[in-house]
């Protein structure tokens, strides 16, 4: 049996704060650079276009929060749109597959979305974050099970999750059960000081754990905060000084045994490259196959609701009125 082997790229980069066009241009340059260095699959950070809304975790008054949300809304990405066309054309031109984190505008709601783009420049699909974490619920809507999918590509079966979705055991298992071999993890990164946790250690633990649980490769991409973005928050409210510092982030590629084959890279922009050889999954499956011989469907089963949740559904056929011409040339309505 032939197993795909190829070079992948994980990105650590900062967006151009709340600027869709400029950040899209930067994303395309990153994709092009990855391709020029031999990568055939590249992962970009969570909500890279146009930014992660760090302000939801800060002491900023409601008026200024509203202004920031308006800017985010105005710079969010519709699918499809000129923004996605630019990303697709870049992938096609450079013969590279990309997974890009965007703030997706769906109707009048913003979603935290992973966009999967093929080497031919075709949008294969998208995944909306199922559950925004904490204060993120003031910015993003909820995803649903309709786009929790694995894509069958020339590189293998590829799926992905966003940030703390990696704490949702059943989301991970659903992807494993659909045959996932390559997992793309997208995160926001920063030197964020107001929470009692080490974000880098959490990301490290999460991406190494998912490779062990699912016997998959993981490409993990993350953003970091630029000095410009940090200064914007301090200008909005001087009490934010010291809460957020430039840098942060954690990016790398991990094999099915939990070992880094690239990175980790932290605290500075860059791209790390690593070889993904799907043949290396097989000996790990010999020990643990979480959806095969190491599963116990007689004890545990998972039910995935793969339908799309919609707030409005039209049931039944409406009554149709048609005009009927009578002999005296008067128009009457007849119910049909």
The catalytic residues are 46, 129, 163
Are 251 and 264 in contact by the 8 Å Cβ rule? The answer is: yes
Whole-angstrom Cα distance, residue 170 to residue 176?
A: 10
Residue 114 CB contacts under 8 Å (≥ 6 apart), including other chains: 99, 100, 101, 102, 126, 127, 160, 162, 184, 186
Whole-angstrom Cα distance, residue 13 to residue 225?
A: 8
CA 12 to chain centre: 14
Write out the E strands in the chain: 5-13, 41-43, 97-106, 109-117, 123-128, 151-153, 156-162, 182-187, 191-192, 217-223, 244-245, 251-254, 260-265, 270-277, 321-325, 331-335
Whole-angstrom Cα distance, residue 20 to residue 274?
A: 29
């Amino acid at each position: 049996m032939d197993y795909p082997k190829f070079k992948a790229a994980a990105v650590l980069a900062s967006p151009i704060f709340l600027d869709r066009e400029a950040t899209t241009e930067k994303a395309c340059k990153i994709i092009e650079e990855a391709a020029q260095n031999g990568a055939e699959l590249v992962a970009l950070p969570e909500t890279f276009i146009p930014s992660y809304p760090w302000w939801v975790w800060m002491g900023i008054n409601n008026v200024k929060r509203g202004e920031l949300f308006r800017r985010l809304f105005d710079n969010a990405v519709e699918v499809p749109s000129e923004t996605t066309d630019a990303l697709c054309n870049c992938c096609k031109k450079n013969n590279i597959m990309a997974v890009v984190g965007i703030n997706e505008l769906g109707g009048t709601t913003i979603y935290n979305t992973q966009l999967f783009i093929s080497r031919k420049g075709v949008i294969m699909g998208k995944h909306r974050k199922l559950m925004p974490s904490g204060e993120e619920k003031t910015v993003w809507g909820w995803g649903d099970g309709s786009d929790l999918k694995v894509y069958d590509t020339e590189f293998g079966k590829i799926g992905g999750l966003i940030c703390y979705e990696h704490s949702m055991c059943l989301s991970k298992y659903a992807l494993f059960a659909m045959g996932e071999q390559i997992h793309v993890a997208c995160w926001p990164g920063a030197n964020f000081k107001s929470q009692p946790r080490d974000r880098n250690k959490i990301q490290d633990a999460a991406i190494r754990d998912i490779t062990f649980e699912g016997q998959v490769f993981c490409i993990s991409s993350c953003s970091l905060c630029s000095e410009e973005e940090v200064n914007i928050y301090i200008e909005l409210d001087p009490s934010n000084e010291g809460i957020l510092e430039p840098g942060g982030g954690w990016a790398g590629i991990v094999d099915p045994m939990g070992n880094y084959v690239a990175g980790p890279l932290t605290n500075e922009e860059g791209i790390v490259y690593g070889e993904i050889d799907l043949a290396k999954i097989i000996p790990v499956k010999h020990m643990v196959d979480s959806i095969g011989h190491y599963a116990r469907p007689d004890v545990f089963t998972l039910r995935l609701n793969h339908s799309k949740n919609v707030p409005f559904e039209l049931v039944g056929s409406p009554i149709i009125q048609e005009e009927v011409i009578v002999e005296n040339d008067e128009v009457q309505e007849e119910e049909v």
